[in-house]
Chains A and B, each alone.
Chain A
Amino acid sequence: MSTNRVAIVEGNLDSYLAGARPAPRLLEPGEALRPGSGLTARAAIELFEDQYLSRTLDVVARDMKRVGEGFYTISSAGHEQNAVIGAQLRLTDPCFLHYRSGGLMMARLRKLPAATPLWDTLLSFAASSEDPISAGRHKVWGSRAAWVPPQTSTIASHVPKAVGMAYSLARSRRLYLRGHYQPRPGVADAHAVLGPAHQAIVLCTFGDASVNHATALAGINAARYAKRRDKPTPVLFVCEDNHRGISVETPRRWIRDFYSNRPHMQYFEAKGTVDEIWDSVALAIQTCRTTAGPVFLRLVTERLWGHAGSDVETAYRTLEEIESVEAKDPILLNAQRLIETGAATPEALQGIVAQTRRRVAEAAKEAIRRPKLHSAAQIMAPLAPADPDAWRRAATQPIDQAQRQSVFGAHLPESVTTPTRRTLASHINHALHDEMIRHPEVLVFGEDVGRKGGVYGVTQRLQERFGEARCFDTLLDETTILGVAQGAAHAGLLPIPEIPYLAYLHNAIDQIRGEACSLQFFSNGQYSNPMVVRIAGLAYQKGFGGHFHNDNSIGALREIPGLVIACPARGDDAARLLRGALAIANESGRVVVYLEPIALYHERDLYEEGDGGWLSDYPCPDGSPDSALLPGDVGIHHPEHKDLLIVTYANGLRLSLRAARTLAAEHGIRARVLDMRWLAPLPMDAIRAHAQECGKVLVVDECRRTQAGVADSIIAELAEGAFPGRLASVRSADSYIPLGAAANLVLIGEQDIVGAARKVCS
């Protein structure tokens, strides 16, 4: 069906052009299509070239699929008026595009010397490893040189980061202009975007169906919220309204009704003739640029040939409906408009059509012969770039003491003796100070992190000391927080967002899973969004807070490809881990989760009340090799013990140390305790080595039993590695955490550890 409709739509254009008569008077190249319009005859023809190139690529994509050489057929056919946006934006306006953006990309890349949009698109259809943006990993619209980070965009999950980037541009520019930082190498044409002469806006496109996604609503809401707070957020939302999501029709006027009267966001519509669309788009862009606030543009489009090549449109549309859509084909209507206004002759448009068809078809024959991805290693190469030497060098760089004194005052954190300033929370706070000194581009933000200094005081005084531009409160939405983080990273900053509770991460986890962690993969390492996501979590808060403040599952994080997870238990480790985490993010563009056990934030004691066993001295960032911790750097307690190896982390470390004392004192079992510190990647080399020495292993995992923690993986790794000794684990129950003392009934306790240890040693 689709193929026939393709031929019919192409035939409609040919028939029209064959029968069309030139206008009585041809326009001069610089003459507008109608008085007062900004679209000249010359620009209109140029636009038609780009639009028809996009159309032809869509036709050929289906031809390629038919012969088993093409792998993507979601097309831009019917959406080509988006080329008007591509023609009018600057190359220094970053674009976050949805998948029907062929016309826009053709028009945008025209501005880039030596660009090869036709060839690049064919390579992406063919999943060639030479596809310049994703290297065959996905059909995405993207370009390093044209500042179009690749998006898959099927669920509008790119909207929050587009808003985040718009929100971050002003901060980035401010720091840049003050000479406070030089953007990392690879940030496209930073001066052009951040320099004083430019006022970049961020484009974010989506469809009328995908705008209903929670992520889209969150992003648009965040942009309006920022505007309400007078924060510059120049983002141009373009809803390409084709009135349908796959088979489901969008209610009439849905987009207009919902978005045309939203406070703190201007609304425009682009519809009608190509020159009318041109002028509406111009106004929307100008408004966004001059007001530095969010603008919503509804661009009326049509969807030709179904959702994708595999979509049988006749299953939900009548032939009459299909034909009525085809009659509104923008290529056909633009051809009519150009000829009737005298902007072009039928012969000129026929020439464009013929030449474009020919060259795309010929180029496709070559494109399908280009190399494909050939090994898992090649595919995964950009997923998790690792340079441990560089990480260690960066993480152990000393920080200038004079600068530290100017921030901390006379009492540097390493010299304090007050117990309340030697806790886990305090040392994370100190380490955040140090990293903000070390990296002027570091931003700390989240709910309540600014003036209040965090729910648990972890970010105290950061705003006061480093200013609102670098430490700020966001609205109460985790999706937005992670969107801002990605956007800030795109703008060259180094974000440390805070998710207040682990349970709330799941509200927004796709921003890490589907977006942040996939960026290097889908851009073949050309784009990265380095960040350290601080998440307060895990249980043992003495019955307070219930499940949502005591969530004990990291399963959803552990399965994300490329994600690094650091998890401190003690204050001194926390500082050193944060340095490592920042270095991994900054040096390799990685996304790192820094999981903070809430119950240990203010814990002072280990064995007895008042023993101060959980307090620690702050490790000075003095350049010493042990001033930072990297993946694989585990903590070993009781290294002289050899009866049993207890492998654990976070609250489990404190519980295990207490249990180890009981085991030694009461049962004669001398257990060595290994603090993993890193939960992804797992420090298996160290675990194996210590397991070998101790002969028996007990994994103490405070997360829920079934795939919520790390125990299954560690046991499986050891078993598959033919570890000869006994293996056991204790894990919490597969339950949500109840309120009050009942919480302890579903969490592992010291006695569980003691019991399991005795059993494994029996």
Chain B
Amino acid sequence: MSRVAIVCPGRGSYTEATLRSLPPEHEFVQAAEKLRADYGLESLLALDGAPRFEPARHLRPAHVSALIYTASMIDAQKVWADHEVVCVLGNSMGWYTSLAVAGSLSFEDGFHLVQRMALWQETGVAGGQLIYPLVNEDWQPVPERKAAALAAIAAHPGQLFLSIDLGGYLVLAGSDAGLAAARKALPPVQQGGVPYPLRLAQHGPYHTPLAQGVSDAAVADLSGLPMALPRAPMIDGTGRCWSPWSSDLEALRRYTLVDQVIKPYDLRAGIAVAIKEFAPERLMLLGPGNTLGGITGQVLLAETWKGLKTRDDFRAHQAGPDAMVVSMGLARA
């Protein structure tokens, strides 16, 4: 039993490579399918088992969020069985998953939260998110990129916001005009074959005031969301810890339905708090996919954790017996 932190992925983690992530007989899949039917939404197994990945279909918020949540929960179940979970955190929608992984929400209530948030996002939230790297191919910081991103945000108040701090990347969110301004302001970067700034398909302007409508709907509809004390400490999108013994559940609900919807999400801080305050031997990145693998590695380098300073250091560390980052989605793929 090693001491592990569970890291739940965000909305970008379901891709072509992750088709067929869901074992049809798994209790969570069965439960999810039932709930999907209640919502009148397409079967997850149909989506997951589709012969090919169709971005417009699969990446629809209402579909992709449920797929990710269910796949993550299945991975989390294995982690709980095999390890001592010292804390749970996640990226963006991964916070909702964290609540369920840590037992603060049941599987079903977590599913409702994820599903409804996604549905509200589909209705009437204009704008979106784009992602921009702050490190180079070798994962070393390029300070002028961060300066450019922060300057762009400062130059377009009310239109462009910091949405997620991933450490090695920033996610900016805004109105269409704000995003257009950001694309103009940010020096283009080609990295890993991907051109940045990169607009994230079908992502709304989450973690900004532009998502106030989603938050309002959530407060109106989910204020009775039954939350319990978590089984393990949770670290939220501000880097704050929620204790298994003393969490204020009303505050937790408020944070979930209001604060994190309209304020920036800081995954970098979350990972830093996890490694420093809870001393995990491993960071278990739940599937599907491995979108947080590099990002987690970049945070570890920024902290020179285990003395790691370069991407090569990280690769060598990961190849060794005490690899700190375990990507469950990758292992399955």
Contact = CB atoms under 8 A, between A and B. Distances in A.
A, B in one complex: yes
Given A359-B279, A363-B277, A352 B245 contact: yes
Given A114-B240, A114-B269, A42 B248 contact: yes
A113 B269 contact: yes
B248 A114 contact: no
Given A29-B248, A49-B246, A113-B269, A118 B240 contact: no
Contacts of A366: 279
Nearest to A116: B276
A359 B277 contact: yes
Given A114-B273, A362-B279, A348 B238 contact: no
Nearest to A118: B277
B277 A119 contact: yes
B243 interface: yes
A228 interface: no
B293 interface: no
B148 to A, nearest CB: 21
A46 B246 contact: yes
A45 B269 contact: no
B244 interface: yes
A116 B273 contact: yes
Nearest to A113: B238
Contacts of A48: 246
A113 B243 contact: no
Contacts of B3: 358, 362
Give the residue among B241, B273, B279 with the most A Cβ atoms within 10 A: B279
A45 B272 CA distance: 25
B249 interface: yes
Given A352-B245, A362-B3, A118 B269 contact: no
A45 B246 contact: yes
Contacts of B245: 45, 49, 344, 348, 351-352
Given A49-B245, A351-B245, A352-B245, A114 B279 contact: no
A359 B278 CA distance: 5
B320 interface: no
Interface string B176-189: 00000000000000
Interface string A372-414: 0000000000000000000000000000000000000000000
B103 interface: no
B291 to A, nearest CB: 22
B258 to A, nearest CB: 15
A369 interface: yes
Contacts of B269: 113-114
Interface in A327-352: 344, 348, 351-352
Contacts of A351: 244-245
Contacts of B277: 116-119, 359, 363
Main secondary structure of the interface of A (DSSP, over half): helix
Interface string A612-645: 0000000000000000000000000000000000
B266 interface: yes
B71 to A, nearest CB: 28
B276 A118 contact: yes
Q: How large is the interface on A (under 10, 10 to 19, 20 to 34, 35 or more residues)?
A: 20 to 34
B224 interface: no
Interface in A42-75: 42-43, 45-46, 48-49
Nearest to A130: B304
Interface in B236-290: 238-241, 243-249, 266, 269-270, 272-273, 276-279
Nearest to A362: B279
Given A45-B245, A49-B243, A49-B246, A119 B276 contact: yes
A358 B249 CA distance: 26
A85 to B, nearest CB: 18
B250 to A, nearest CB: 8
Contacts of A49: 243, 245-246
B276 to A, nearest CB: 4
Contacts of A42: 246-248
Nearest to B244: A351
B153 interface: no
Contacts of A117: 277
B202 to A, nearest CB: 29
Contacts of B86: 355, 359
B208 to A, nearest CB: 18
Give the residue among B245, B249, B307 with the most A Cβ atoms within 10 A: B245
Nearest to B241: A110
A49 B241 CA distance: 12
A365 B244 CA distance: 24
A115 B278 CA distance: 13
Contacts of B243: 45-46, 49
Interface string B142-168: 000000000000000000000000000
A358 B86 CA distance: 10
Interface in B190-238: 238
Interface in B93-145: none
A388 B247 CA distance: 52
Nearest to A369: B307
A359 B270 CA distance: 17
A504 to B, nearest CB: 48
A205 B248 CA distance: 29
A42 B229 CA distance: 11
A363 B273 contact: no
A177 B26 CA distance: 63
Contacts of B266: 113-114
Contacts of B241: 110
A754 B144 CA distance: 64
B239 A114 contact: yes
A344 to B, nearest CB: 7
A201 to B, nearest CB: 25
A363 B272 CA distance: 13
A114 B246 contact: no
B249 to A, nearest CB: 7
Contacts of A29: 248-249
Contacts of B244: 351
A344 B243 CA distance: 14
Nearest to B233: A355
B240 A363 contact: no
Contacts of A362: 3, 279
Given A49-B243, A114-B269, A363 B248 contact: no
A114 B278 contact: no
16 contacts: A42-B247, A45-B243, A46-B243, A46-B246, A110-B241, A113-B238, A114-B238, A114-B272, A114-B273, A116-B272, A116-B276, A116-B277, A118-B277, A119-B276, A358-B3, A363-B277
Interface of B: 3, 86, 238-241, 243-249, 266, 269-270, 272-273, 276-279, 307
Given A110-B241, A363-B279, 14 more contacts: A29-B249, A42-B247, A43-B246, A48-B246, A49-B245, A49-B246, A114-B273, A348-B245, A359-B86, A359-B277, A362-B3, A363-B276, A363-B277, A365-B279
Interface of A: 29, 42-43, 45-46, 48-49, 110, 113-119, 344, 348, 351-352, 355, 358-359, 362-363, 365-366, 369
Enumerate the 6 nearest inter-chain pairs by beta-carbon distance, A residue then B residue, closest first.
A114-B239, A362-B279, A119-B276, A113-B238, A114-B269, A46-B246
